[in-house]
Structure 1
Amino acid sequence: MNTEPEPYDVVVLGGGPTGENLADRTRAAGLSTAVVESELVGGECSYWACMPSKALLRPGAALAAAQAVAGSREAVTGALDAAAVLARRDAFASHWKDDGQVSWLESIGAVLVRGEGRLDGPRRVVVRTPDGGERVLTARHAVAVCTGSRALLPSDVPGLAEAAPWTSREATSSPVVPRRLVVVGGGVVGVEMAAAWQALGSRVTLLVRGAGLLPRMEPFAGELVAAGLTEAGVIIHTGVSVAAVEREDGVVTLRLDSGEGLEAEEVLYATGRAPRTEGLGLATVGLRDGSWLEVDDSCRVRGVEGDWLFAAGDVNHRALLTHQGKYQARIAGAAIGALARGRALDTAPWGAHVATADVAAVPQVVFTEPEAASVGLTAAAAERAGLRFRVVDYDLAQVAGASLQADDYRGRARMIVDEERGTVAGVTFVGPGAGELLHAATVAVTGQVPLARLWHAVPSYPTVSEIWLRLLETYRDSE
């Protein structure tokens, strides 16, 4: 067994989108970089999350859009072709092969090391390879942990583990459509997968412990998404918990805390995420295995001496979203490059070494029908933050562009105005295609654009973006 150390400037643990982007930045800085990956290069997003889930959701949204307009409605009379949808999903997941991603990694000059990597003291990584061997990698400048997160199953539900429930991975990769599906959890994964499989022909029941869906967004977002799911045929139960689960002869039986029983071919648990840091060797550098990694705004891990250990993406728990992980990766990669050259991180142009958008202006789209999109603060978050703010609401259906999109368009917009700064602190849109409105809001929130300047950003007519004019008019008229 050859355990002679292999030196690199940077070692990246995890070859998902975050690890790929970080490696791209360190290679651009001229640093030799090894990427350690135990599964598929491209990670969760490419094979079990963003890409396959949106491929499952898009056909239902396209069908709903066609059925929402007179003329096209009469031309579309059938249901989705489930086999065609699943085949298209498989193509977007590259049939769970990472050849293309490996080629890209090689094209930037990074070295791929397949296997399970773990820290073995400062700047040292031991990799157990698929053949049972070991490789020792050392880092001259930095080790970056980009191992992401995994689905978290509750440990207090009798029979759950034995029932082999779906997690987000099985929900996005199943080769068949279950006749009946129970989804536990009213967050983003729960509502998106309920929408996708209902559209594909499953009879879906959604169980939510709380009072409503999407609890981190404005309450009206959850209400409108719940209405859309209900109209599509999803049965929603709120304020319920699962007391026990049993699988027998291909049928899963769930007993609720109310005593009611439900049966289905599959049950999906979408109830949270945990960091993929178990067995990572964190204890060898004074940290705790299995924990989230706390970082500063340059993604340097706190509690470790020296500027050598970084963590980007889900694993640092700042914002569990692929686009935010990629953003952090660009920040961390640039910071590593600067430190390797002896440069101070606070001297970079336009804050290239400091992450802020993953805290203050996090955009997110929920791809249900209708879509829910938000960035920045909700009204409840603004109140908790002690801001002096004003809530501005507007019915999206009253915008000319929206009424052209669908004959019975339903949606809502909310703008949170920071009264002291005269800027937009948060925006939420709910409605068909609402996600395409979000980046303008993200720019407004991130750039702290004064409302007095936004007034002169004239939206094209007749587009749904005219909602900005209506929100600003409503704000002005309420003074």
Structure 2
Amino acid sequence: MTARPPARGIGVTPAGSWGHAAGRGAPVPRPARPPSESSTGAAVNDAPRTYDVIVIGAGPVGENVADRTRAAGLSTVVVERELVGGECSYWACMPSKALLRPVIARADARRLPGLAGAAQAPLDAAKVLARRDEFTSHWKDDGQVGWLDSVDVDLVRGHGRLTGEREVAVATPDGGTVRLTARHAVVVATGTTAALPPMPGIDDVNPWTSRDATSAKEAPRRLAVVGGGVVAVEMATAWQALGSQVTLLVRGDRLLDRIEPFAGELVADGLREAGVEVRFGANVGSVERDGAHGEVRIGLEGGARVTADEVLFAVGRRPHTGDIGLETVGLKPGSWLEVDDTCQVTAVPGGWLYACGDVNHRALLTHQGKYQGRMAGAAIGARAKGEPVDDAPWGAHVATADHAAVPQVVFTDPEVAAVGLSAAEAQQAGRNVKVVDYDLGQVAGASLYGDDYRGRARMVVDLDRGHLVGVTFVGPGVGELLHSATVAVAGEVPVDRLWHAVPSYPTVSEIWLRLLETYRG
């Protein structure tokens, strides 16, 4: 298999998805590098360098910002302390989906006469993990670095910290310091890291976080997963299929509690059928490990205990802002950064500081962060040129979709795909809505997936405005339906107009016709 370049969401990606890198405009001359410094930023002195834009964080979000500011003709440098390509490329989206794809493919095959018998064999865990390693380019970022160089974006490796207005100091791996100054903007795109509960002794247990779950070299015999969100259910799905005995410990009474309730119900059913033990109302009160590498003993409130070889805590994220110099510009270290719709940090005067992606807590999803990066980069370019900023809803420089049309896919069996508001969220917001449900298994195209297709669809219609505000699908293969729903929600397409969008037969997309027929009554 050919080595894959690292993933970023613009240009080639390590995960095998491919974007484009066109339309960036003429190159802007770079500030001269010190003679001893390479394009990878191995600085050995603190000679100051000035750019139009400094981006702290070279994950997909930071790269999208840099792409758009370069397209606007602004000299740009990105600062990265780990791997160029970020969390998504090496420890989150891409390796997790590489682990999950064989699991879902086997589940699909098991539903089909003629393949079901062949699909009963266990997965070859070693080959699945080896393919995962190729998707992460074996945790090397040469391809990503090459992309930055090809579009005239400089890279400084090291830990970047704000030191004042438009100023960043980078402590490089060789002990040097690079001092950067921005003419127009500094963008924080440092993302988040896994949050661990404040539990006595938890550090001594050396628990798995999401990074460990996506990069582990072998399947533990027994894995306890604490949490009920996306990371928890996806990793429970993957490692159960790769040979672990998985126990899922959920504090509440449902999975995926930010999505329609039926989504969590169907996913819980699927996990149980796959062999996962799902325990609701399981509040973890203590954890301890027997020696450095022994079993983990997990104490639950009420006295029950669970033993495992590894324990994954998937209970939330915290902002990666604890040591980036926020105090030098009047902000609290470790805090989320509140922004406006152009991603300007609202608490810092002067309009020079931006925050994009997870770090602003608007929508903790890679694709939304990349979208914010595109919007912010364009806004920075317009402001730098003295051009008007189109900051009206759905304008060219604002991240309106963060409020109205955030899509998400959960890659379990069955899949979950949702965009916009749930029925409960719409009602809590005071909208006058009609909720329309339909059994996805009754759509002709679903029968092609096998004899036991189970799924459900829901659309939430704003009756006053006549368009959709939310759509949820649950079932095999529904992730590929989501963009049609996103277009309908983001575009505020009138329901009467959707009636004329004819779905192909026989495909699962015929669910749109069935939902609209049900809506009309």
Q: What TM-score does the superposition give when structure 1 sets the normalisation length? A: 0.98
Q: Deviations over 1:348-396 (max 9, x none)?
A: 9972201111121000000000001100110110111000001100000
Name 2:313's counterpart in structure 1.
269
Give the CA deviation at 1:311.
0.6
Q: Deviations over 1:265-287 (max 9, x none)?
A: 10000000000000111111111
Give the CA deviation at 1:252.
0.8
1:12 aligns with 2:60: no
Identical residues among aligned pairs (%): 69
Q: Deviations over 1:20-67 (max 9, x none)?
A: 111111111111111000000000000000000000000010001111
> Is residue 77–residue 154 contact of structure 2 (8 Å, CA) maintained in 1?
yes
Give the CA deviation at 1:222.
0.2
Name 1:175's counterpart in structure 2.
217
> Is residue 391–residue 398 contact of structure 2 (8 Å, CA) maintained in 1?
no
> Is residue 158–residue 243 contact of structure 1 (8 Å, CA) maintained in 2?
no
Q: Distance in 2 between matches of 1:184 and 1:133?
A: 41
Q: CA RMSD in A?
A: 1.2
Correspondence 1:13-412 to 2 at 5 A: 13-155=56-198, 157-249=199-291, 250-346=294-390, 351-412=395-456
Q: Distance in 2 between matches of 1:2 and 1:251?
A: 48
Q: Which amino acid aligns with 2:195?
A: L
Moved over 3 A (4+): 347-350
> Is residue 13–residue 36 contact of structure 1 (8 Å, CA) maintained in 2?
yes
Q: Deviations over 1:207-226 (max 9, x none)?
A: 00011100000000000000
Q: Distance in 1 between matches of 2:194 and 2:403?
A: 23
Q: Distance in 1 between matches of 2:172 and 2:45?
A: 12
1:415 to 456, 459, 477: 459
Q: Distance in 1 between matches of 2:383 and 2:200?
A: 50
Name the structure where helix makes up a greater proportion of residues.
Answer: 1
Q: Distance in 1 between matches of 2:358 and 2:135?
A: 22
> Is residue 116–residue 129 contact of structure 1 (8 Å, CA) maintained in 2?
yes
SS in structure 2 at match of 1:95? helix
> Is residue 21–residue 330 contact of structure 1 (8 Å, CA) maintained in 2?
yes
Structure 2: 5+ residue stretches without partners: 1-43
Name 2:477's counterpart in structure 1.
433
Q: Evaluate the alpha carbon distance shift between residue 289 and residue 208 of structure 1 in structure 2; reply closer, same or farther with a 3 A threshold.
A: same
Q: Deviations over 1:129-179 (max 9, x none)?
A: 111221110000100000000000011x22211101000000000001100
SS in structure 2 at match of 1:302? coil
Q: Deviations over 1:54-87 (max 9, x none)?
A: 0000001000111111011133341100000000
Q: Distance in 2 between matches of 1:16 and 1:414?
A: 34
Give the CA deviation at 1:346.
2.2
Name 1:460's counterpart in structure 2.
504
Q: Distance in 2 between matches of 1:433 and 1:450?
A: 26
Q: Distance in 2 between matches of 1:403 and 1:385?
A: 37
SS in structure 2 at match of 1:191? helix
Q: Deviations over 1:388-437 (max 9, x none)?
A: 00110000000000012121000000010100011111000000111111
Aligned positions, number: 476
Q: Which amino acid aligns with 1:234?
A: V
Q: Distance in 2 between matches of 1:16 and 1:383?
A: 36
Q: Deviations over 1:173-218 (max 9, x none)?
A: 0001100000000000000000000010100000000111000000
